[in-house]
Structure 1
């Protein structure tokens, strides 16, 4: 959605939206897919959160304040909020490409080179979103495949900031989030830092490359114990060199020894991966123009030939 549409959305109230379907429901509230009655082509997310007691109000207000600050294309965009009944409704960008969990479940794993290329594009996008979040002093605290979304063009966007929290005077905050994506320090000491998000992303990167959670046990309890004790499954032989080194750094049990989002984005491996992707896209575009040029030349020659005849 462009800036003009964003400004238009901000003028609307609850009655201006039509519900399409409910996407999820929980103790946190409900997430609905809606559309504007006056412009049915504009589909949006409406997140309805309870807004009665002070605790709920504070949580919702903090989430909205964070969303307003995140103006990067690598995060799900906030457009508007308003009170309706006993809820606050948050209007956000709808990512019609689904989430990373859905992609993981349908990924074709016969071509590792293709998987690695796709994985590093997602890694770059999510790290870019994290860099913006961390620069504002905010830890996501619930980074998992379900909270990474895709727009219609396949670009990754970081979303669901309901558990995100700002780090103030201390260098860490209280732990939160899904246990099998929570780093060792959250399970051992009930604390998280910016590097906790990096660990969670390291787990996601391994899942992208292998299709498996690197700490998965026979039960949820065993998975949590594996994380707590740093017992990671052996990486497959195709993961070598710089890729293996990056994963091992991201999954270091000591958060102080993990790289930051900025450092990872500045790494030769990621720079090289993104450069190759951009070069490939440019090559495809050039090929399209060449094909168009050849076709146009052939058409002109044929037309001249017919005129001469």
Structure 2
């Protein structure tokens, strides 16, 4: 943690987090006073209010970056490809390579997705970046950085240490019913808050399932994998996509998906958490 006494400009809106008074909202174009800097966050003073904001929302007011130390550069600039060590390869690399990486300077681990230019999935990746930039919250997997490196689009996101909800489903079947229901209620509250936040922005996920709900080291749940997400704030519906056995029958009779389709998918996930089984037998993916 480093003390500082500098002015910074807000480069994009940040709404803060409901229930967390430490994280305060800021608006693009505002000039704020940074009191101290930490990994990923700045403590700022704005209109006599003191609180924290994620580092990606601020830039030095004069627009100049210091080159006096790699620590300072890391805080204010996007890290380069060489700033990370690869820990291991991860699954889920349909749009390129997905890796668990470690930031050399801090030792913190992240997930890095690399998408090669020239592939048809480049457009999907661009869309996912745009969606994730809008959806930063305590209930979603956050996009920390995105940038172009050589011939690749690189996305650096949160690393969810305990994997996805599939393992949780198995583990829950080993405890008493009372304990299991209490844990399911806790997870349901977090998942539905993530969905409610998405829907408040007019965004539909289209592929909510245990494999796309991730668990942090502290046991909290985060919704992730926004590759099929779409903004439907204007039309109100979108073409069918996702995983068949998490979709309601009306999705197929109407040949379209709405925000309610996500809610149905959450219900299927909750059923699985309680019983250990999916209520539908179909196993088919749609693109």
Corresponding residue for 1:257? none
Secondary structure in structure 2 of the residue aligned to 1:202: helix
Q: Identify which of 162, 180, 201 aligns with 1:97.
A: 162
Runs of 5+ consecutive residues of structure 2 not aligned to the other structure:
1-38, 43-53, 57-73
Deviations 1:211-261 (A, max 9, x none): 111123xx647xx9xxxxxxxxxxxxxxxxxxxxxxxxxxxxxxxxxxxxx
Corresponding residue for 2:101? 34
Q: Which has the higher helix share?
A: 1
**Contact between 1:52 and 1:87, CA under 8 Å: does it hold in 2?**
no
Task: Write out aligned runs for 1:4-23 (5 A).
Answer: 4=42, 6-7=55-56, 8=74, 10-23=77-90
Q: CA deviation at 1:210?
A: 0.9
Q: CA deviation at 1:28?
A: 1.9
Q: Identify which of 211, 214, 224 aligns with 1:149.
A: 214
Total equivalences in the alignment: 218
Corresponding residue for 2:230? 165
Corresponding residue for 2:110? 44
Secondary structure in structure 2 of the residue aligned to 1:24: coil
Deviations 1:108-136 (A, max 9, x none): 44411111110111110011111111111
In 1, the alpha carbon distance for the partners of 2:117 and 2:190 equals 33
In 1, the alpha carbon distance for the partners of 2:86 and 2:93 equals 18
TM-score normalized by the length of structure 2: 0.70
Secondary structure in structure 2 of the residue aligned to 1:174: coil
**Contact between 1:6 and 1:79, CA under 8 Å: does it hold in 2?**
no
Q: Identify which of 194, 199, 221 aligns with 2:264.
A: 199
TM-score normalized by the length of structure 1: 0.65
Corresponding residue for 1:24? 91
**Contact between 1:47 and 1:91, CA under 8 Å: does it hold in 2?**
yes
In 2, the alpha carbon distance for the partners of 1:173 and 1:68 equals 21
Please tell me whether Structure 1 or Structure 2 has the larger radius of gyration of its CA atoms: 1
Secondary structure in structure 2 of the residue aligned to 1:21: strand
Secondary structure in structure 1 of the residue aligned to 2:101: strand
Corresponding residue for 2:67? none
Corresponding residue for 2:41? 3
Corresponding residue for 1:79? 144
Corresponding residue for 2:19? none
**Contact between 1:76 and 1:93, CA under 8 Å: does it hold in 2?**
yes
Greater mean deviation of Cα atoms: 143-152 or 8-17: 8-17
Runs of 5+ consecutive residues of structure 1 not aligned to the other structure:
225-309
Q: 1:6 to 1:18 in 2, by over 3 A?
A: farther
Deviations 1:62-110 (A, max 9, x none): 2111111112100011111112243211011111121101111233444
**Contact between 2:109 and 2:159, CA under 8 Å: does it hold in 1?**
yes
